[in-house]
Amino acid sequence: MDGFRDVLGFCLERIRKGYIVSDVFVDIKDIKKGLLCKNTKGEEFVVVEDLNHKKCLIEFTDKHKHVREVHKSAIRSGNVKNPYSITKQGVGYLGYGDYSTDKNKREHLIWSKMLERCYYQGHPHYENYEDVIVCEDWHNFQNFAAWCGTQKGFSNRHFELDKDFLVEGNRVYGPDVCCFLPQVINKFFLKGRTAQKRDKNLAKGVTKMESGNYRAAANGRKLGTFPTQKQAEMAYKNYKKYNLWLLANEYKEELDENVYARLLELSTSRWQDFVIDCKTYQDLISTGMAYEWYPSLPFSWDEAKRILEENEGE
């Protein structure tokens, strides 16, 4: 009688927790090919082959149709794990393959944080990721971990996953658009975005002072005070673009070739935009010429003159 009460109490506890209990009463002798069962999460699987008196082969009935060998005692208790069971932020699952949470801790940490940013509303930066999604292929940890192993920079712990460096404005994490960037380069862009967020009426890196002048600053460094917003903005662009060019060459050997090419494109083409914004050669000289970094442009002063001449009157 006491044994029956123990079993009954066990079943009632499982009911209270929302578990499926019908399969608890499956006798091991009744576990044969074709038997439809459920695990403790309510996921259905079917016995596809009776291997021996202890083991059998099962197949889950979800879209992944995962097949695995299990002990019949596990079927009786419902303790049959499905690697495709959703475990992360309502979309992510570990999947079946060569990668595990124990052996691939860095991959799993990056994957988990990526899903949290996109799908966990309590994340401190969720408002910046509310419309960002992770591609369906990367819902499977196996696929994400395999991609990481092919990426230059992944093994360097000072590199971070980035979704919108190669494709500006991208809002989908996926293998064709993501890359790994050095933290210093990633933060190089983030600080500018933060400055913009503080006052949308001002350009990145520019703040208005009580005196009415404008201060330019980048990466924690004050670049100077200017009478007009335009001058402060150009000083900010000056500093950022030149330093971006320096970073590209500093990390050249560690960067993926597409990342390096993108850095050069940003530092050089945007320098040309900066030169054009100056309108005249004299404006170019007067805007920040006193700074120690300014004489070393990614291209020569003769090139700057040529660009201005080509765009004269536009």
Sketch the domain layout of the chain as residue ranges: 2-77, 86-150, 158-165+179-310
Quick one: pLDDT at residue 4?
A: 53
* Residue 272: Cβ-neighbour burial (10 angstroms; 0-12, 13-18, 19+): middle
Checking if the pLDDT of 125 tops 50, the result is yes
133 versus 266: the higher-pLDDT residue is 133
* Tens digits of residue pLDDT in 11-31: 555 444 444 434 445 677 888
- By the 8 A CB rule, do 85 and 63 touch? no
- Cut 0.75: pTM above it: no
Question: Which region among 27-31, 125-129, 152-156 has the lowest average model confidence (pLDDT)?
Answer: 27-31
In this prediction, residues 98-121 reach a mean pLDDT of 97
In this prediction, residues 210-228 reach a mean pLDDT of 82
293 versus 241: the higher-pLDDT residue is 241
| Structure tokens that stand for 63 in this block | 């879209």
Mean residue pLDDT across the chain: 81
Checking if the pLDDT of 8 tops 60, the result is no
Kindly list the distances between the CA atom of residue 310 and the CA atoms of 230, 281, 313, in Å, as whole numbers in the listed order: 22, 12, 9
* Tens digits of residue pLDDT in 83-101: 999 999 999 999 999 999 9
26: region left, alpha or beta (phi > 0 left; psi from -120 to 50 alpha): beta
In whole angstroms, what is the distance from residue 65 CA to residue 58 CA?
10
